[in-house]
């Protein structure tokens, strides 16, 4: 049997609770410019509105539900907002520490959270943990996309004398090419049959992720990605069913395709487009970012995340400004707009005007470049002032920070501090 690694969940939970208590005491009630930078800032009001838009799926579609991904924020507080406002009880996590944090919290004990899926193909060293977690929540699910993993799971169960079945999705590839099995392949069909027949698995169904839909640059393009993902998922289902493998549940999704679902619900027959699709899932929808704005399915007023940075120096001779947020505050993820972030003009309320672009980053340095003389002379862009930069990718930007400062509406006063789960 494969040696079992372990998730130190009690240590992680204790650390987060103690850290949060101290940070709340020190930071709540203070303005952002009174606190150390760079810091990740979450606008709770926008976050709630973004999640409420997803509830249209729950209330407006006949047989398709929503599952929310918590990997962006990795926090119990963020998950609560997602579950309550999107009106669902199901989440996806990326790591086992996330799973433990969510399941050990009052999200589960209160009945708000009932389904937890680990959104990464499981490896054999984690079997102890997944069976432990499966006893703590109504439904615990994993991915399997290789027969060797299934054989290792069956061997583990037989060695341990376990009679408990684990819920497993078969991850299938709908064109993204990252994880999942291909269609019309003998090995794929064999794995599906083995999952269905295994005495140690409760075969949940199939799961797709259209990650390539992030390249869409209009709502119509995102809609086409949605239609294509649905078509491929149905092809997988038909392929398996025609070969004697029942498929009782189909889950699809990515933020652009799910946002297309809500955007076109009042104009198109979304029940038809999503026929035979039992669930859609998304994660970045809650925060959004420059990358998601580029899809045409939202504006910068819909982005709930920013990185607060201080201006360290102004270089009139080269039309640039140095800020104290670099790659370790933003990551180096790309966006169609180029560069690494935007500073939105705070003086423009009814529209969006980009005041400056973060065009270059190194480890701790960020450079706002190509600024004209009038922009360089603005009082908001002088040494010591605070700017809030919208990052390219909310998930990777959030992963750079030990804690998040939470504000509401247009205020810059901190109302809460969230400490995310870290580690694998």
pLDDT (tens digit per residue) in 328-371: 999 999 999 999 999 998 877 777 889 999 999 999 999 999 99
Distance, CA of 317 to CA of 280 (rounded, Å)? 51
Mean pLDDT of 164-168: 96
What would the CATH number be for the domain defined by 61-287?
Answer: 3.20.20.10
- Strand ranges, E, within 267-340: 279-282, 305-315, 320-323
The predicted pLDDT at position 49 comes to 96
> In the chain, where are the structural domains located?
61-287, 300-418
Q: Which residues, other chains included, contact 339 with Cβ-Cβ below 8 Å and sequence gap of 6+?
A: 357, 358, 359, 360, 392
Q: What is the pLDDT of residues 198-253, one digit of tens each?
A: 999 999 999 999 888 888 889 999 999 999 999 999 999 999 999 999 999 999 99
Contact 149, 26 (CB under 8 A): no
Q: State mean pLDDT over 373-383.
A: 94
Under the banding of pLDDT at 50, 70 and 90, the label for residue 155 is: very high
Q: Are 16 and 8 in contact (CB under 8 A)?
A: no
Q: Do the bridges between strand 404-407 and strand 416-418 make them parallel or antiparallel, or are there none, so unpaired?
A: antiparallel
- pTM equals 0.94
Q: How would residue 14 be classed by pLDDT, with cut points 50, 70 and 90? A: confident
Overall average pLDDT of the 53-59 stretch: 92
CATH topology of domain 300-418: Lyase, Ornithine Decarboxylase; Chain A, domain 1 (2.40.37)
Read off the pLDDT band of 42 (50, 70, 90): very high
Q: Give the pLDDT confidence score for residue 183 in this predicted structure.
A: 92
Nearest to 285, CA basis, from 253, 251, 256: 256
Query: Distance (Å, rounded) from C-alpha 2 to C-alpha 377?
Result: 63
Tens of pLDDT along 116-139? 999 999 999 999 999 999 999 999
- 76 band by pLDDT with thresholds 50, 70 and 90: very high
CA angle, corner 121, sides to 174 and 126, nearest 5? Answer: 175
How much is the pLDDT for 143?
95
In terms of pLDDT, which residue wins out, 27 or 2? 27
Give the integer Cα–Cα distance in Å for 326 and 322: 10
- For residue 2, pLDDT beyond 90: no
300-418 and 61-287 share a CATH fold: no
Residue 167, SS3? strand
Please, what is the end-to-end C-alpha distance for the chain in angstroms? 21
412: phi then psi, degrees, rounded to nearest 5:
-110, 20
Question: What is the tens place of the pLDDT at every residue in 258-274?
Answer: 999 999 999 999 999 99
User: What pLDDT does 15 receive?
Assistant: 87
What tokens does 332 get?
């180096």
CB 153 within 8 A of CB 185: no
């Amino acid at each position: 049997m494969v040696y079992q690694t372990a998730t130190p969940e009690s240590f992680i939970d204790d650390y987060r609770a103690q850290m949060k208590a101290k940070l709340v005491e020190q930071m709540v009630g203070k303005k952002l410019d009174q606190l150390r930078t760079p810091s990740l800032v979450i606008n709770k009001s926008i976050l709630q509105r973004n999640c409420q838009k997803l509830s249209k799926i729950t209330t407006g579609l006949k047989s398709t539900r929503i599952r929310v991904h918590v990997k962006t924020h990795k926090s119990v507080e963020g998950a609560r907002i997602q579950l309550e406002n999107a009106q669902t009880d199901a989440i996806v996590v990326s790591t086992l520490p996330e799973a433990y944090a969510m399941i050990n919290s009052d999200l589960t004990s209160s009945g708000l959270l009932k389904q937890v899926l680990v959104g990464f193909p499981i490896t054999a060293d984690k079997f102890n943990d997944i069976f432990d977690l499966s006893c703590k929540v109504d439904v615990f699910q994993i991915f399997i996309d290789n027969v060797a993993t299934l054989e290792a799971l069956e061997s583990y169960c037989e060695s341990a004398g376990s009679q408990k079945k684990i819920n497993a999705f078969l991850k299938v590839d709908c064109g993204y090419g990252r994880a999942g099995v291909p269609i019309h392949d003998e090995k794929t069909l064999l794995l599906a049959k083995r999952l269905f027949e295994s005495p140690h698995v409760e075969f949940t169904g199939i799961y797709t992720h259209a990650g390539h839909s992030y390249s869409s640059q209009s709502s119509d393009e995102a809609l086409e990605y949605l239609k294509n993902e649905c078509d491929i998922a149905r092809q997988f289902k038909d392929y398996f069913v025609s070969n004697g493998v029942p498929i009782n549940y189909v889950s699809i999704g990515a933020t652009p395709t799910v946002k297309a679902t809500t955007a076109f619900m009042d104009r198109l027959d979304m029940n038809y487009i999503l026929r035979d699709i039992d669930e859609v899932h998304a994660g970045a929808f809650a925060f959004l970012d420059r990358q998601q704005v580029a899809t045409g399915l939202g504006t910068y007023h819909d982005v709930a995340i920013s990185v607060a940075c201080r201006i360290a120096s102004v270089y009139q001779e080269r039309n640039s400004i140095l800020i104290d947020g670099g790659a370790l505050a933003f990551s180096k993820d790309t966006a169609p707009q180029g560069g690494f972030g935007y500073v939105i003009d705070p003086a423009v309320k009814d529209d969006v005007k980009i005041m400056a672009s973060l065009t270059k980053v190194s480890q701790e340095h960020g450079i706002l470049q190509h600024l004209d003389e009038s922009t360089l002379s603005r009082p908001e862009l002088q040494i010591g002032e605070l700017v809030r930069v919208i990052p390219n990718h909310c998930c990777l930007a959030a992963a750079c920070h030990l804690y998040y400062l939470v504000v509401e509406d247009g205020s810059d006063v901190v109302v809460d501090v969230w400490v995310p789960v870290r580690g694998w």
